[in-house]
Structure 1
Amino acid sequence: MMEKKKILEEGLLELYLTGELSEELTTAVEDALKQDESLKEHFDVLEADFERMGMEQAITPPLIVKERIKNVIRQPEIKKTSWLPLSIAAGFALVFGLSTFWLYVKWQDAESDLNTLQLQTSQLQQQVDELESEFRLTANRLENINNPDVVPLVLYGNQKAPNGKAIAFINHKSQLVFVNPKGLPVLPKDKTYQMWSDVNGEMINMGVVPTDKELVTLKYIENAESLNLTVEPAGGSEHPTVEELISNVII
């Protein structure tokens, strides 16, 4: 038996209604209608729609046809042939209705495909914009790091983080500070790294240092004598937790 999916996708029910199928396909469709109740219900609905559209699209015959019908009523002997013009008109109306319905379905499918394509294009453009933004940011940071005025400083972990390492890049001329934290151990969610500058014995906050970024921009502190890295509660602290100091380096 021919599959229901094939019949629906290839529009065989519509072609069956209009008598445009070959004898072999006609037999196959009729067998499928007999054996598949859901397909038969779909066909009945389609047939009813076609009949309704045929009536809606029916063309009003010209007045001459009306006069001929009156003559036929007066001449019963040729009554059978007098309905031919109306049959032809109704046939054309049905074919027109079927064609209109078929084109409408195709138009709806094309519109749906167009909307999907537009959405995909919009999402792709957004991704491209995000990549361009990230590229510009990375290129800018690399340019700042490779600047001859930049001083790189390595912060090695102490006994609290023996395998930890972070690299700071300081440009005193442009007053920029970047830190690469990728060598630091990952902390629990309720903890964070925080950098401090030592200025005449006073620890000044430079900002928190998340480990999920390649480069972190920190606040530049003038006259800093050293950089100091501590572990603080998530969000950072106003004052450094001295016992949680894991690294420091002299500037």
Structure 2
Amino acid sequence: MTDDNQRRAWMDGHLEWAAHEFGVERIGQPLHTGRLHSVGCRVTDAGRDAWLRVVYADPEWGDGNYLEKNLAANAIHGVPKPTVKRWREWEDSGRRMRGELSTFVADAALSTGMTLTREVALPEQWLSDLNRALHGLAEHPAPPTGVDADYVNDGIRAFFGIDLDIASVPWTTAHCDLHWGNLTGPTLTILDWETWGRAPAGYDAATLVCTSLDRPDLARRVSAALSEFLDTHSGHVATLAAATRLLRFADGGEQTELARPVRQHATEILERL
């Protein structure tokens, strides 16, 4: 399915079907992700606001258990995040579909993409809440899957010309995709838990800093607020891992505005290593 309009209509149809199956009433317009990988909308469930989402597995997204990750994240405590209330799966033409009904988050995401597209007011309390959330997440037992160490090592070698085994530093549980499109404000909630897993300690903080580098003042504030995750050997290695991911995106034509500042930031980290 290559036509975007066709895919959007197909997803909208599944969202409507899922609303009927879950017994909820749609009260919001469908919201599609940028790559039309999932669609969701606000609904009422027994008189309470909730969020209905439909996502599908497709070979273009690679292998993995990302369809189960949002539900599995219910086991994580001490982190502001949605909770999956009910779910079910079905198939359409060989594609595995999944519907999830989750608690509703009233505050909107701070961006529609990885980087900020507008000025946002981030009070110190929001940054403190994020610091606390990352501590809570790191205390959760690390699952067996997450960031691919070999893939990152290859990327660090390709982009920076050094051999560095990121498996040699401590690893903790991480969101693994902590950017501005997955954070809400003015009250902090961390969204989209499809890829959470184990990662080098400090990886989430490093990812958020790297996706802030097109706004230097913001990057400095985030770095200062999360310095205990970043100003360590593990944090430096995690920063190179996060930088490698974004540079791969840039090579593929995405997040190109971050390529230069991310490379410069990584070069400064390499000097500390």
Shorter-chain TM-score tier: under 0.3
The structure where helix makes up a greater share of residues is 1
Q: How does the TM-score come out when normalised to structure 1?
A: 0.19
Higher relative CO (CA 8 A, sep ≥ 6), structure 1 or 2? 2
